[in-house]
A and B are shown apart, each in its own frame.
Chain A
Amino acid sequence: MNDGPDPPPGGAGHAFWQSLDELAQSPDFLRRLEQRFPDEYARLAELAASIDRRRFLQLTAATLALSGLAACGPAPIAGLVIPYVDQPEDTVPGKVRLFASALTRDGLATGILARQIMARPINIEGNPDHPASLGASDAIMQATVLDLYDPDRSKWVIDNGEVSSADALVTALVNRMPQLGKTQGEGLRVLTRASSSPTLSAQFAALTRLYPRLRRHHWHGGWRDNLREASRRAFGRVVAAVPKLDKADIILAVDSDLLNEAPGHLAHARAFARRRRELASGGRGNRLYAIESTPTVTGANADHRFVVAAAQMEPVLRALAAHIGIGPREWAGGAAPSWLPAVAADLAQHKGRALVHVGPYQSVSLHLLGHAINAGLGAFGQTLEFLEPPELDTSDEISSLSSLVADMHKGEVDTLLILGGNPAFTAPPDLGFDEALKRVKFSLHLATHVNETTRLCRWHLPRAQELERWSDARAFDGTATIVQPQIEPLYGGWSEHELLAVLGGAVRPQGHDIVQATWQGEAKRRGIADFATFWREAVRAGVVPGTRSPAAPVTLSPNIISEISATGQTDPPALSVLFRPDPWLRDGRYANNGWLQELPRPLTKLTWDNAVLVAPALAKERGLANEDVVAVETEAGRVKGPVWVMPGQAADAVTVLVGFGRRVVGRVGAGTGFDGFPLRSSNTLTEAPLRRLAKTDQKWPLATTQVHQHIHDPLHPGDILRFGTVEELRRNPDMFKGQSPQDSLYPAWPYPRYAWAMAINLSSCIGCASCTMACAAENNIPVVGKDQVLRDREMHWIRVDRYYRGDENAPTETLFQPVPCMHCEDAPCEVVCPVEATMHDHDGLNVMVYNRCVGTRFCSNNCPYKVRRFNWINYTKRDPRLDLAWNPDLTVRARGVMEKCTYCIQRIREAEITADREGRRVRDGEVRTACQAACPTEAIVFGDQNDAHSAVRKRKDSPLDYGMLEGLNTKPRTTYEARITNPNPALAEG
């Protein structure tokens, strides 16, 4: 579009126009009108033709009269609005309804049940019937709701930087189609993110028939390229390796993301925790070893975590293989660490019940080693299952993107549709993606937010958010879910299916019909006669039955050993940079999500910023401290970021978390963190040699919710976090029995009806922070911003404390402890409140009466657990979310008022009322707190402790059950089950 004012019509010789009419009738103007507003133009033209002078005057008079009337009513709403005469069936105002759907991460689906109140999705719970969820959900899934209600979402079609309309875009696209048809789609390219949608697959198949030369590319950051490449080399093709943690007794995690990021991680975490809980009851349990150069959540949960230098990862794993008896003898040589023989022996002794999992960021040869060891351990078919991959495209991402960019540079691409994503931000800078994109004549970016890529494209089309559109997706094991919208698109967004349908010739495509058509085809293939029932049931359940991927028969390449030797690292750099996506923002796509920005990262506890993670030893050597800004330089580029000294980081590697430092982003994400992507090049996507690490004299404040310099041994007070080994527990089964509450002069208060209580199992908690996020979503917890977190004023009602044991360079243990309100029987907060704003209710809950609170804050000072949160300023008003997003079941809190965990009292009351009306007691499991519902490992159990058969009662009767700081005699209702680890006795002696 040419900038600046329109030139006057009529050419140079006729520079003046005499009337507005003359200007308006100029053919140039009309042409523009037709292009830009085809609908309006048509309507205008029709109108103009049908009106004579008389009619015009009549209409004018009517307009004047009616405009007076219009002023009497509310603001007009577009379309036909009819109030309820008969209430729609099942719609009860204020009643929560659940709708199944799925959210995708890295293209793979996790089933959800969206909790809707009055047709608004308020929060997300996992779908118990879905294999990737099993009822659990993670922090990012929870936060998707906020993404939906983000006021910074893209709202308009943009054409060359100016607001346009979807009709104009469709017109422009349709106008190109004859030309594309003529050339069989030459120059037509589609760039997608990772996807597993059968509908998308079908659409591409149809489009390829229409435009045989259409080429599809995919780019998702290139994080899993090594994994796929290793699969190709080991098995000849890409297969999905699905770990079976329920069957694994001994697990070796090599920089693994199994428990918190890998496809199906919620299910893996659940299986892992179930096996882990066996330990306390004398069962076999499992044992987890971790070797890694940068701390992971999986490593933090290991019985033995070994810090291995980044350069040593491969030699160590080779030595391990050799000790098990795989690979040549010389692999065993070199500097094998002292622990290695014991670990190798333990794995070898558990053939068929052992598993090695290598994280996606490791090199191809490490993955090959992993496959070789797993084969040697007899893991195939036992602890490791191979399935046909559910993804649409399993080709190498970086090759796919570089070939596209190369073609763009050559000018061979003239129509490029970018379906979601932000390649301009995530592509390695050596490709020159930005420059190449500017050369594409017709580029279209479909995205929920305007981002770096939008700015470089000609067209932008707002995308319907995941909760707004019809689609479908497959889980890590192939199980398909039909994604149904939870709400009408708030900003009129389109789905990728609808956009592609336009290319296929549809003018007004409907996502619902497109997705349904796919499944009609599938139903026909399966011979299902009653499609309507099939469809309704599949949508309702959130799972399409019988869609799990078939097992993939695999045979390990016979020359895998020589393959490993050939691809092995030859000359490791002295220092490396490891690239990892931020745990919450991932590759930056959630940068404008305040919940995720403010949710403390599981290990660093950082909020609102990323950092360069540096080992304590390296920090000491270079004189670096937290918040010092360093310049990090690789071959590809140079960035500056603040240092975070990370216990358990290898001294020969710094970790740069990417995803922050977005340049084109909404109000929330602006100015957060630094961009680490410029450090990557197309052949160093996960790891690069570090050229220079230089301290600058700048400082960058980092907002953390837990200072980790105080690595304090919890053994001594013992009262906060109790832990022990299986061996110790066997010797002394009562080791965790605490002091029984001291006698009181006063009789205990009776709670004859219900006594709601919580039990948290510390052996199960993996520190993933799902509970914190679920609580924030359910309980209207405001986002307070970095400045407030810096002053230690974050508002989360349940926090996950993280403690270390041992040397800071190689902590022997990382312990997590979720801390909600303890709901003490003798609550110290209650007696000190001068206005009785906090008190016990008839069920023994420690409740907070917001409108009675005057804000003395003595309750918080007197709370030994420090679980109370105060509204220092009007946080609710400052919160950026749309008003629609607040949970109507509970109040938002005013300035100057204390608040804290209520055990989700709104859910308790709802269940109590329902039970009362049905004349029965609340059943066990009927009330599930938000944290409990989200928890992937079932660490949190909630219920009525008066009920002898309730799950919570059973947990509390365990000899491992203890109350935090119970010596203070507060008699907490929330209790913990001590953490039991299963270290290898052979290593414990050493």
Chain B
Amino acid sequence: MAGATDISEVIAPDETFASMTDEVSSIILRPHRRIGWWIGFGIGFALTVLLATALAALSAIGIGIWGDNIPVAWGFAIANYIWWTDIATGGALISALFLLTRSEWRTAIHRIAETMMLFATAAGGLMPIFHLGRYWYAYWLFPYTNVMGAWPQFRSPLHWDFVALIAFVASIVLFWYIALIPDLATLRDRASGRIVRVLYGLFALGWQGSSRQWRHFRITYWTFAGLMTAEVVAAHSVVGLDFAAGMTPGWHSTFLPPYFVIGAALTALAFILLLIIPVRWGYPLATMITLRHVDVLAKLLLTSSLFMAYCYWIEAFMPFYGGVPADIWTINASFYGTYSFAYWGKIALNAILPQLLWFRPVRRCEPAVFAIALGVVIGMWLEYFLLIVGSLNRGYMSSRWFIYVPSFWDWATVAGTVGLFVAGLFLFLRFVPTLPMFEMRELIQRYRHKGDAA
């Protein structure tokens, strides 16, 4: 194996400071008429309008427009929420964790990963708010002093989740933005128009590139990365606790928090692959996001998938080991019930299909990797759908076993959040440097030293 120190594949050998910076900044500063961009953004925007319509209908009528019922009081909204926060926390994990391990391949893709987490949080964050019966009182979950003397229930996992989510959103925005500052300064310096220069200048916060600033920057950035790694694990574990702390069969299990973190890594890796493969070809970046990146991510995807498969084994084994009848009904219903398609779907897509990535030719074949990644992303959505709906529709009371049938508005909401994500991503591609230029320069620098030594 080539090993992580071999950076020859991480960037094309003929890339220089100037060529790299030109290529990345020209995407923003000298945009060509890109019909592809407009199509992509158009689709995203149309779906965002659909989301707005769905939320307007929701506000006017109530969450009764969805398919939720008693016993299945949570449906698509919460499945979407976990799925999107999966993507978000996984993205942050990859960005922060692999900064700490100083993996070279991280450099070219972490901006995309962070942007993914930003918009995934936006898409996912809408869900727990709008799924509330009275979402206009969502702020009651926040512990603020008020004349009623009412506080949140600190024992409720939903309150923990609220706190974790707020902390997570705050940190990822800062993490993303801090890493952006030197590049915004580059754009400011290279911009020809005055308005553009002023705008990027404002956001660059007066970055001069002095060694003092670089020193502060590094301390901040690395400290953040360390915090983020812990934060990500904590945040998504808390999402797992939402379920683990409940006594519903299928939820009531301590293994859910790590299960969720592994799920997050898997989903996010698959999602990054879904993003970088088109970006690699849609923009002149193939020399900087190389097959090596695809290969590394595919290996990580395979590793996560093995972890996930282990979780699935535990999930299927424990009810029988524990012997609680309700747990056994629930897992049996997963195997054979109404929603067995979701169970077998997640097994096939998350645990079996990625095994193809053991083979190097598959990992180097972008369409194949793209297809596998797409499968995992869908498989993970099915997993969360099953976790919620499959568990709730088989509770302790067999007299209240009812299935959940999503309505049009449920589907519109899923599609709409995807649209919000896509639209956001295309705006990012247009206005923010897709690759972190300052880090790419470091990479080229290091590559040069290596080349000089050879």
Whether A712 contacts B398 by the Cβ 8 Å rule is: yes
In the complex, chain B residues whose CB is within 8 Å of the CB of A712 = 398
Contact of A828 with B247 at beta-carbon distance under 8 Å, contacts A853-B134, A854-B134, A898-B133 already known: yes
In chain B between 121 and 172, which residues have their CB closer than 8 angstroms to a CB of chain A? 131-135, 137-138, 140-141, 150-153, 155-159, 162
Q: How many angstroms from the CA of A717 to the CA of B399 in the assembled complex?
A: 13
Q: Is the CB of A788 within 8 A of B64?
A: yes
The residues of B that contact A831 with a CB separation of less than 8 Å are: 153, 155-156, 245
Contact among B133, B156, B396, B399 with A871 in the assembled complex (CB-CB below 8 Å):
B133
The answer for the CA separation of A474 and B395 in the assembled complex, in Å, is 49
Interface residues as binary, A793-808 with B (CB distance below 8 Å gives 1, 0 otherwise): 1000001011100000
> Complex: how many Å from CA A587 to CA B73?
37
Q: Is B392 an interface residue (CB 8 A)?
A: yes
Q: Determine the chain A residues whose CB is within 8 A of the CB of B245 once the complex forms.
A: 831-832
Binary contact track A809-836/B, C-beta < 8 Å → 1, others 0: 0000000010100000000101111111
Among A707, A788, A861, contact of B74 (Cβ-Cβ < 8 Å): A861
Give the residue name and chain of the A residue nearest to B139 (CB).
A854
From known contacts A866-B70, A968-B247, infer whether A852 and B64 are also in contact, taking CB-CB under 8 Å.
Answer: no
Between B65, B137, B159, B399, the greatest number of chain A beta carbons within 10 A of the residue's beta carbon is seen for: B399
A622 contacts the other chain (CB 8 A) = no
A695 to chain B, nearest CB (A): 25
A858 touches B246 (CB 8 A): yes
Rounded to whole angstroms, the CA-CA distance of A175 and B69 in the bound complex is 61
The minimal Cβ–Cβ distance linking A674 to chain B, given in whole angstroms, is 25
**Which one of A793, A802, A897 contacts B69 once the chains associate, using CB atoms below 8 Å?**
A793
Q: How far is the CA of A716 from the CA of B329 in the complex (A)?
A: 12
Q: What chain B residues lie within 8 Å of A706 (beta carbons)? A: 399-400
Known contacts: A831-B156, A835-B141, A871-B133. The answer to whether A864 contacts B395 by CB under 8 A is yes
**Residue interface bits A843-876, CB-to-B below 8 A is 1, else 0:** 0000000001111111011101110111111100
Query: Once bound together, how far apart are the Cα atoms of A309 and B301, in whole Å?
Result: 65
Expressed in whole angstroms, the minimum distance between the Cβ of A467 and any Cβ of chain B is 33
Within 699-717 of A, Cβ neighbours of B (below 8 Å) are at: 706-707, 710, 712, 716-717
Provide the residues of chain A in CB contact with B140, threshold 8 Å. 834-835, 852, 854
Contact B247 A864 (CB under 8 A): yes
Among candidates B64, B150, B405, residue contacting A835 with C-beta atoms closer than 8 Å? B150
Closest approach, in angstroms, between the C-beta of A5 and any C-beta of chain B?
45
Interface residue B401 (Cβ < 8 Å from any Cβ of A):
yes
Residues of A within 8 A of B358 (CB): none
Q: Does A965 contact B (CB under 8 A)?
A: yes
- Contact check, B156 vs A707: say whether CB atoms are below 8 A apart: no
- Residue A720, interface by CB 8 Å: yes
Interface of chain B: mostly helix, strand, loop or mixed: loop
A897 CB contacts on chain B under 8 angstroms? 133-134
Closest to B151 in A: A836
Q: How far, in whole Å, are A873 and B62 apart by their CA atoms in the complex?
A: 5
Residue among A862, A874, A894 with most chain B CB within 10 A: A862
Query: Which residues in window 573-632 of A have CB below 8 A to B?
Result: none
Q: In the docked arrangement, what's the CA distance between A873 and B68, Å? A: 12
Proximity bits, A891-927, B CB within 8 Å = 1, else 0: 0001111100000000000000000000000000000
Interchain CB contact (< 8 A) of A861 among B73, B159, B397: B73
Whether B156 pairs with A833 at a CB distance below 8 angstroms is: yes
| B397 & A865 in contact (Cβ 8 Å cutoff) | yes
Is the CB of B325 closer than 8 A to any CB of chain A?
yes
Query: Which size bracket describes the interface of A in this complex?
Result: 35 or more
Chain B contact-residue range equals: 35 or more
Q: Is the CB of A720 within 8 A of B246?
A: no
How long is the Cα–Cα vector from A856 to B63 in the complex, in angstroms? 11
A792 at the interface (CB under 8 A from B): yes
B326 within 8 Å of A by Cβ? yes
> Which residues from chain B contact A828 at a C-beta distance below 8 Å?
246-247
In the complex with contacts A706-B399, A834-B159, A857-B133, A868-B70 CB distance below 8 A: yes
User: Is there contact, CB below 8 Å, between A835 and B153?
Assistant: yes
Inter-chain contact B133/A896, CB cutoff 8 Å = yes
Task: State in angstroms the CA–CA spacing of A864 and B246 once bound together.
Answer: 10
With contacts A854-B134, A865-B397 known, is A873 near B156, CB below 8 A? no
A896 with B398, Cβ < 8 A, contacts A834-B153, A856-B132, A857-B74 known? no
Output the residue of B135, B138, B150, B153 with the most chain A CB within 10 A. B153
> A362–B242 Cα gap in the complex (Å)?
58
Closest-by-CB residue of B relative to A716 is: B325
Closest to A894 in B: B134
Q: Among B65, B132, B155, which residue has its beta carbon within 8 angstroms of that of A855?
A: B132
**CA of A541 to CA of B72, assembled, Å:** 49
Bound complex: CA A897 to CA B64 (Å): 12
Q: Which residues in A have their C-beta under 8 angstroms from that of B405?
A: 791
The residue among A793, A854, A871, A898 with the most chain B CB atoms within 10 A of its own CB is A854
Tell me, yes or no, whether B283 is within 8 Å of chain A by CB.
no
Instruction: State which of A836, A895, A965 has its C-beta within 8 Å of the C-beta of B152.
Output: A836
Q: Which residues in A have their C-beta under 8 angstroms from that of B35?
A: none
Partner of A854, one of B64, B68, B70, B141: B141
Interchain CB contact (< 8 A) of B401 among A707, A852, A898: A707
Given contacts A832-B157, A835-B153, A861-B73, contact A895 B133 (CB under 8 A): yes
B313 at the A/B interface (Cβ < 8 Å)? no
B161 nearest in chain A by CB position: A834
- Residues from chain B with a CB closer than 8 A to the CB of A865 are 396-397
Q: State the Cβ distance, B61 to closest chain A Cβ, in Å.
A: 6
Residues of A within 8 A of B42 (CB): none
A-B contact pairs, 25 of them (CB 8 A): A712-B398, A720-B396, A792-B71, A793-B64, A801-B399, A802-B399, A819-B399, A833-B153, A833-B156, A834-B162, A835-B153, A836-B151, A852-B140, A854-B133, A855-B132, A857-B68, A857-B133, A858-B157, A861-B248, A868-B70, A870-B73, A873-B65, A895-B134, A896-B133, A898-B133
Supply 9 further A-B pairs (C-beta < 8 A) apart from A836-B153, A856-B131, A857-B68: A706-B400, A792-B71, A819-B399, A831-B245, A855-B132, A858-B242, A861-B392, A897-B134, A968-B247
**A residues at B contact (CB < 8 Å):** 706-707, 710, 712, 716-717, 719-720, 788, 791-793, 799, 801-803, 817, 819, 828, 830-836, 852-858, 860-862, 864-866, 868-874, 894-898, 965, 968
